[in-house]
Amino acid sequence: DQQVKQNSPSLSVQEGRISILNCDYTNSMFDYFLWYKKYPAEGPTFLISISSIKDKNEDGRFTVFLNKSAKHLSLHIVPSQPGDSAVYFCAARLLSGNTPLVFGKGTRLSVIA
Amino acid sequence: KAGVTQTPRYLIKTRGQQVTLSCSPISGHRSVSWYQQTPGQGLQFLFEYFSETQRNKGNFPGRFSGRQFSNSRSEMNVSTLELGDSALYLCASSLTGASYEQYFGPGTRLTVT
């Protein structure tokens, strides 16, 4: 049972345009969400996070939006740059206990110059 | 601060053999988690160790085991290797636990032939 779903395995965007990566979750007990970025031959690196008490968090070109009623979050990258080409993982944390983060399967973003 | 290091980076083993992977966390981090990444399944949680104790375990068979030493370094062992064990094995460290922001190593690419 996949609790965190990234339904688009890949996405191509032109340089300078907006990239929107989507993530859906099924467990309403998730209270904290994170996005990680992964380049080939490297481990994932933390990008941005959002608490369930917020609906938006912004960090430079990256903004994460959370819609709790729809159990949906999205990562917006504006403007997209070729260096943003990577695999992006959405992750979620359960409210209670020391349970590990639950990751989605990832979306491969290609930014075309 | 040095990042998370994993050794070896690449490994080729034969079906039926066993393998040990090593992870050195960021200095001061007491939590070490292990993940398996495959193209179709994304990041799947194997287990977490905190202060030498296994705190969480994912849904993997008993052939997958781990341990953590008093200096927080961790090892992961896979016995009786199967072809399906071919994957990127990622180690992540955290100050407080697998529920929080984690710092990943570059991974060990295991190929089973």
pLDDT digits (tens, 9 = 90+) for A86-102: 999 999 988 766 788 89
Enumerate the residues of chain B whose CB falls inside 8 A of the CB of residue A52. none
Q: Which residue has the tokens 């481990």?
A: A43
pLDDT score, position A97: 66
Retrieve residue B109's tokens.
């690419």
SS (H, E, C) chain B: CCCCEEECCEEEECCCCCEEEEEECCCCCCEEEEEEEECCCEEEEEEEEECCEEEEECCCCCCEEEEECCCCCEEEEECCCCHHHCEEEEEEEECCCCCCCCEECCCEEEEEC
B32 touches chain A (CB under 8 A): no
Lowest mean pLDDT among A4-13, A34-43, B80-89, B96-105: B96-105
Average pLDDT, chain A: 94
Contact assignment for A103 to B41 by CB distance below 8 Å: no
Q: How far is A23 from chain B (nearest CA, A)?
A: 14
Q: How far is B22 from chain A (nearest CA, A)?
A: 15
pLDDT digits (tens, 9 = 90+) for B2-59: 799 999 999 999 999 999 999 999 999 999 999 999 887 889 999 999 999 999 999 9
Distance CA A70, CA A23 (A): 11
Residue B1 pLDDT class (50, 70, 90 cuts): low
pLDDT digits (tens, 9 = 90+) for B86-111: 999 999 999 877 777 889 999 999 99
